[in-house]
Structure 1
């Protein structure tokens, strides 16, 4: 059963996943260009910083909601599978509520950190001015996508009266 909310959350997280895919391609091209130019004796300044502060952060945090939406996070449900269906649902609802609380708090704190970093125009130590505040926004955005996915899965599980 697909509700309008679930379809919207799916589209949002698909957009985040697509952005993450773009960052993977950019990272691959950037590293390839860096290797080729380095072998030609030309140094590309800032490759390490861009890869580690921008590409890696975005490709780790942006697709988390998509993974949650499809129930692909690591699960250990050996004994849960043997329990009655209603107990499975109750445990799933509890897990979704805990996920909402935990990732909601992480999202809130990383939002505060991103705002602070943006106001301060935070930079990293490098041979040039390297702003890291834009990368700070990947965390609250990723956690927001994850919370939306957990909420959507929770509502779907309650509507279908079964653990997803």
Structure 2
């Protein structure tokens, strides 16, 4: 439960029936307006001037603040450009790193729902760490239990997995 004063959160208390409230709730007051919080969208200056594509400034370029309206227009334009040029398969909706306290506000679910509403996308499977181990460990340690599936076909015993192309 939040307490506000003059439009600012000044206090938070856990829900009265929560048997084990997290001590992290105390961070809410300071995090809401912390100096490290990004207050508006920013876009890379080189992208604004030259558009998408390779750019030697990438990684060292400055970022320029833009309005929310401008940011939404840029995002909509890029999604349309990629969809029209390459199809929905070229839109990757695989982020899994955003935290959330609830399923409705679960960021990954919201991204997937949105991208499905424009015709679909390419999604990630598993997560980067587990997926990497699933590919590398059988090649280092051998197949688990003598059986492993590589490239959609079962391999038994000492058969090597196909070489990635």
Give the number of the structure whose residues are more often strand, by fraction: 2
TM-score for both structures, normalised by structure 1:
0.21
Give the number of the structure whose residues are more often helix, by fraction: 1
The structure with the largest alpha-carbon Rg is 2
TM-score for both structures, normalised by structure 2:
0.20
Relative contact order (alpha carbons < 8 A, sep ≥ 6): 1 or 2 greater? 1
